Amino acid sequence: MHISQQLAAQAVGQVLAGRNLSIVLEDAFRRHHAITPQQRAVAQDLSYGTLRFYGRLQAVLDMLLQKPLTDEYIHHLLLVALYQLSFDRAASHTVVNQAVLAAAKSKKSWAKGLVNAVLRNFLRQQSELEGRLQGNELALYSYPGWWISKLRQQYPQHWQAMLEAGNQHPPMTLRVNRRHGNASGYLEELHGAGLSATLLSEEAVVLEQPTPVGRIPGFSEGRVSVQDFGAQLAALELDVSDGMRVLDACCAPGGKTGHVLELADVSMTAIDHDPQRLQRVRENLDRLHLQADLITGDAATPDNWWNGVPYDRILADVPCTASGIVRRHVDIKWLRREQDIASFTRQQAVILQGLWRLLAKGGKLLYVTCSVFHEENQQQIDQFLHTQADARLLPYRHAQLELTKGQLYPGKEHDGFFYALLQKV
């Protein structure tokens, strides 16, 4: 276990220094290629868990230390061990002993003694320490203060539930390929394979427990895909039919691209600025036995790749803060800064204006973010409608989107998304 603790402590430190967690873990596993699959899985779980509850863990550690630690590795190792003692099922004495072994990596004579003392003090004082967290919002919710304040202001009736949803483990939801059946029939197939699941819609089921895709019936044959239920609404809202010319801008990793092609026989162009991410789209489409014209290009500069023929439908899944999917990407909470919102909104406005020129008269553009911040969502659309005389906002096809004016709150069944369907008149 101490190898996993060591890798997790290093990963947490790098994320708090500004790096993406997925990239950090990939680099770590590449360097430590001899570790077992179980050690990799534990290191990943500890990294995600520590960052998910970083605000709470840091507040507890501050109370346990007489003065701030200058050794960053030991600091982050203690956070990882505190996560285990607070949320993991591992035996407490094992966690402490393994953390002491992991502390030896620092080669500081005092490190093992300090780690042992701090963790044992936590076990003795746990109830008292947790009681002292009351009133500390950063500790209670484990989000930056600016994030908490913004959600409280923008969602006075929902902000607490939204914060709490972002700290839950995400569900594993499957999208059943409509060309190969429906969710009701597939649900029986899952049960036959010993996998418990619940029906969400005509083509969506959620697994009771996350499962490796290799164990999911029909995955390798393209009969089913992994996709959040909220994300599945994109292709449905786009309102496609056979023969249309469709553009999926910012398409990687290709979940929505594939879904559109499952729903109708369209001429699909899918673009992304990153060739490596575009390769993932190709792999997904190959698994689904579907075809699209894949182009490396920037949605903000369509003149560099557009052939001049208008599209009937455009899916604009624009870059955003990703504030609606933090339970899947726990590092986002600590990587984002409040000023990043303005940067994203400027980028979104440029993309929206640029793609609008590519839309045929009477055509529809679906604007999508995985954000919950108003600036990136309804305020962005209001500004666009104010400046674009030939654009109008259409009603939503999905009842829940109509009820919430396009904003999906993160919750048990889905992540947080925003949708706005615009028509060129």
Is the pLDDT confidence value at 272 over 80? yes
Instruction: Say whether both 205 and 290 belong to one domain.
Output: no
Domain endpoint, select from 226, 258, 288: 226
Q: Where are the alpha helices (DSSP H) in 289-425?
A: 332-335, 340-356, 378-387, 399-403
pTM assigned to the model: 0.94
Instruction: Say whether both 22 and 97 belong to one domain.
Output: yes
10 in a structural domain: yes
274 in a structural domain: yes
Q: What is the signed CA dihedral for 334, 335, 340, 346, rounded to 10 degrees?
A: -130
Is the pLDDT confidence value at 193 over 90? yes
CATH number at residue 371: 3.40.50.150
CATH number at residue 183: 3.30.70.1170
Instruction: Say whether both 202 and 263 belong to one domain.
Output: no
Is the pLDDT confidence value at 19 over 80? yes
| CB-based contact 341:376 (threshold 8 Å) | yes
Range of the domain at 379: 231-424
| Contacts of residue 333, Cβ cutoff 8 Å, sequence gap at least 6 | 51, 54, 142, 143, 144, 147, 166, 326
Q: What is the mean pLDDT of the chain?
A: 95
Instruction: Say whether both 247 and 219 belong to one domain.
Output: no
Single-letter residue type at 172 = M
pLDDT value, residue 179 = 94
Instruction: Say whether both 196 and 110 belong to one domain.
Output: no
Which two tokens mark 149?
Answer: 């304040």
pLDDT value, residue 107 = 82
pLDDT in tens, 314-363: 999 999 999 999 999 999 999 999 999 999 999 999 999 999 999 999 99
151 in a structural domain: no
What percentage of the chain exceeds 70 in pLDDT?
A: 100
Which position has the higher pLDDT, 68 or 205? 205
| CB-based contact 82:56 (threshold 8 Å) | no
Q: In the chain, how many domains are there?
A: 3
Catalytic residue positions, numbered:
370
Instruction: Say whether both 202 and 309 belong to one domain.
Output: no
345 in a structural domain: yes
Domain endpoint, select from 97, 119, 141: 141
Instruction: Say whether both 9 and 112 belong to one domain.
Output: yes
407 in a structural domain: yes
Instruction: Say whether both 117 and 220 belong to one domain.
Output: no
208 in a structural domain: yes
311-317 and 245-249 beta bridge pairing = parallel
12 in a structural domain: yes
Instruction: Say whether both 382 and 259 belong to one domain.
Output: yes
Say how far apart CA 205 and CA 187 lie, in whole Å: 7
Which two tokens mark 10?
Answer: 């290093």
Instruction: Say whether both 303 and 404 belong to one domain.
Output: yes
pLDDT value, residue 305 = 96
Instruction: Say whether both 56 and 205 belong to one domain.
Output: no
253 in a structural domain: yes
Q: How confident is the model at residue 402 (pLDDT cuts 50, 70, 90)?
A: confident
Domain endpoint, select from 204, 226, 248: 226
Instruction: Say whether both 14 and 73 belong to one domain.
Output: yes
| Contacts of residue 314, Cβ cutoff 8 Å, sequence gap at least 6 | 246, 247, 249, 355, 358, 359, 363, 364, 365, 366
pLDDT value, residue 415 = 97
CATH number at residue 50: 1.10.940.10
Q: How confident is the model at residue 66 (pLDDT cuts 50, 70, 90)?
A: confident
